Amino acid sequence: MKEEFSKLSKSQTQQVCRKLGKLVADCGITHQAIADKTGYLRPSITRLLSGRFPPHLDYLFCILAAVNDLTGHDYSLKDIDVPASEVEGN
C-alpha cells in the first residue's frame, strides 16, 4: 500500500485527500472531532482534507482510524481510492 501511495501524482494525492474529506463530511464528523481523536491540530486536518497539505500515508491512516472510531465503520483507503480517470487533467 505504501509503495502504491508513493507512486501517486500530486493531483491524485490531492484527490485522495478530498475524497477522504467528503467521507468525513458525509459521516457528519467535524474536523475538530478528528483533531481531538488524533492529537493533530484542527487546521492541519482541514488543510489535509481540502487537498492543500501533502500527507504522509501514516497521517492518512491515523485520520481514517479516527473516522472509523467515530462512526463505528471499517473504512479503508480502498473506500476512497481515486481511479486515474477521475484525476483532473487526465
pLDDT at 11: 83
d(CA 64, CA 9): 21
Amino acid (one-letter) located at 88: E
pLDDT at 26: 94
Phi (first) and psi of residue 29, to 5 degrees: -95, 135
Q: What is the pLDDT along the chain (90 residues), one digit of tens a residue?
A: 556 666 777 888 888 899 999 999 999 999 999 999 999 999 999 999 998 887 888 888 899 999 999 999 999 888 887 554 444 444
Q: What is the DSSP letter of 18?
A: H
pLDDT at 87: 44
